[in-house]
Amino acid sequence: MFNKFLNSFSLQYLSFLLASVLLCTVSLPQFSGAGTRKLLAGFILAFIVISLINLFAKLLINQSIKSFFSQLKIRKIDLAILLIALSAFISTISSYFFHESLVGFAKYILYFLFYICICSIANSKSLCKGLILALLIGLLWSNIEGLRQAFWGAEALATWEDPNVHFSKQLNRVYSNFLNPNLYGAYLISLWPFSLFFIPHLMSQKNKTNIQKLLSSFGIILSTVLAIISIYLILQTGSRGAWLSLSAQLLIAGIAILIFVKSKIVSVGFWGTAVISSLYFVSKPSFFNRVLSIFSSYEHSSNSFRLNVWKACGQMFADNPLFGIGPGSESFYQAYGIYSDSIHSSLGAYSLPIEIAVEMGLFGVISFLFFIFTIFISGIETLKRFTKIDSLKQSEDLVLILIGLISLTGLLINGLFDIVILRPQIQIVLWTIVAIVRFSTNNTKVKLNND
């Protein structure tokens, strides 16, 4: 009787509800300040506990460990993540800053557990759609505040631009509720592609009533407007890493449309938006000059700071090549004080690959590259199977994989020049996207093989 109750009630839906609320609210100001991170961590922990109880409940129902793990269906992506966790563990126990590294390692484990729990939820197309909808609601809320700042101005909460640069006062960098334009830019980069996910489904529906046609048209317009606003706000953040990421995302999306999409309306709409965005960008001297500042080396304060940090990181890596200094910002802070000749402190390397190399050494770098290689190869191999899109379900699968890979590409490019990807808001979104891509690639392979 107890097993039947567990099976029928299933804590999975409670986990899904908690995950959806978390994804909806992660962009709110309540989770943005440094003092509120404990609240966000508590929310994540509550979700993890409920999800793990759900997993153990399934184990009780199956009454077989072998059957339980066969249902989990551990993939190469999961093994790659496990390898990263192992790298972080070895780096922690071998670190000179053991206590500081232990805190960083705990954060890694928290996010990996979050990923496992999201994977336990994202095991059906309907639940994946629900998670995407929750992500888009969070994006919509953040963009409302972003638009307000874009039109009525945003108070600079820190010196984000070199005050000696003549165009710095002309640049109104928006940050929405994130208190940091670079963080907001990374959030937008990760989610704007998902605003297009429901458009193919809404366009492909047949035999609709007038009300359904009206709702579909409204949904298409809302999705398109959300994507355009997000792209506009990416430009308004003034984040050079986000701009580079957006350029790469638009290029990949444009190529994918030419290959897979037969609709001229979609192609013209996409490329029209890309051209208008480019013209708007070029017409703003403050934007154009900020791009040129990428190549100004030590003449720009932001560039100079990063170059000094990377120089110190090179020395850290040279002294700790195998297992690094230990994971986490606290370990980096302690080590940076030893290796840097600057009066300014730093909590990170301002580059994700460099950060991983410094924290976890060569072992960590190999693990990270294996993870990236695995997820992208899995997605690309699945896309190669789409020789002909002749059904709505296949179209949805294709779009979901493409959008996931485009989103991850943007985050990785952004991570080349900043480490906002390691902030809690982006980590939550990142691991949710990875879990969705993991499900969609394996689910699509099964369907195509059956066909």
Interval 13-54: pLDDT, tens = 778 888 888 899 888 877 766 556 677 777 788 888 877 777
Length of the chain measured in residues: 451
Residue 450: its pLDDT value, please? 56
Asked if 51 and 161 count as a contact pair (C-beta separation under 8 A), the reply is no
Please state, in angstroms and rounded to a whole number, the distance separating the CA atoms of residues 235 and 159: 18
Which distant-in-sequence residues (6+ apart) come within 8 Å of 364 by Cβ?
84, 87, 88, 91, 323, 324, 356, 357
The answer to whether 78 and 65 have CB atoms below 8 angstroms apart is no
Selection from 12, 110, 50 nearest residue 328 by Cα:
110
Closest CA to 10 of 129, 115, 124, 135: 124
Helix (H, G, I), strand (E, B) or coil at 207: coil
Q: Which two tokens stand for residue 431?
A: 């691991």
pLDDT confidence of 391, banded at 50, 70, 90?
very low
In this predicted structure, what is the pLDDT of residue 142? 92
How much of the chain is in helix, strand and coil states, percent to nearest 5? 80, 0, 20
Choose the most confident range, by mean pLDDT, from 60-74, 170-184, 185-199.
Answer: 185-199
User: How confident is the model at residue 348, as a pLDDT?
Assistant: 83
Q: Model confidence at 140, in pLDDT bands (50, 70, 90)? A: very high
pLDDT per residue over 272-317, tens digit each?
A: 877 877 777 777 777 777 777 666 666 667 777 888 888 889 999 9
Non-local (6+) Cβ contacts of 166 within 8 A are none
Residue 392: what pLDDT? Answer: 46
**Amino acid 390: pLDDT:** 47
Mean of pLDDT values over 362-380: 92
The two most distant CA atoms of the chain are separated, in Å, by 73
* Distances 241 to 144, 201, 363 between C-alpha atoms, Å: 22, 32, 27
pLDDT at 337: 83
In this prediction, residues 108-125 reach a mean pLDDT of 87
pLDDT of residue 46: 82
Write down the pLDDT at residue 165. 53
**Token digits for 271?**
């490329």
CA atoms within 13 Å, Cβ hemisphere of 314: 6
How would residue 367 be classed by pLDDT, with cut points 50, 70 and 90?
very high
- Mean residue pLDDT of the chain comes to 80
Structure tokens at 295: 């190549």
Nearest to 436 by CA among 221, 134, 7: 134
Out of 158-172, 173-187, 405-419, least confident range: 158-172
Q: Treating both helix axes as pointing N-terminal to C-terminal, what angle do 392-415 and 240-260 enclose, rounded to 10 degrees? A: 150
User: What is the per-residue pLDDT for 8?
Assistant: 39
Q: pLDDT > 70: what percent of the chain?
A: 78
Q: Examine the pLDDT at 334 and tell me if it is beyond 70.
A: yes
Contact 293, 239 (CB under 8 A): no
CA 298 to chain centre: 30
Mapped onto helix, strand or coil, the DSSP state of residue 5 is helix
Cα 398 from chain centre: 19
Q: What's the CA angle centered on 448, arms 446 and 451, to 5 degrees? A: 110
Q: For residue 6, what pLDDT is reported?
A: 46
Nearest Cα residue to 253 out of 236, 231, 235: 231
Q: What is the mean pLDDT of residues 155-165?
A: 59
**Cβ neighbours for 347, distance < 8 A, ≥ 6 positions apart:** 329, 330, 332, 333
Mean pLDDT (whole number) for 95-107: 90
Query: Which among 192, 48, 33 is positioned nearest to 118, based on CA atoms?
Result: 48
Q: How far apart are CA 370 and CA 77, in angstroms?
A: 9
Q: Does residue 161 register a pLDDT over 60?
A: no
From 74-88, 101-115, 197-211, the region with the lowest mean pLDDT: 197-211
Please count the other Cβ atoms lying within 10 Å of the Cβ belonging to residue 259: 10
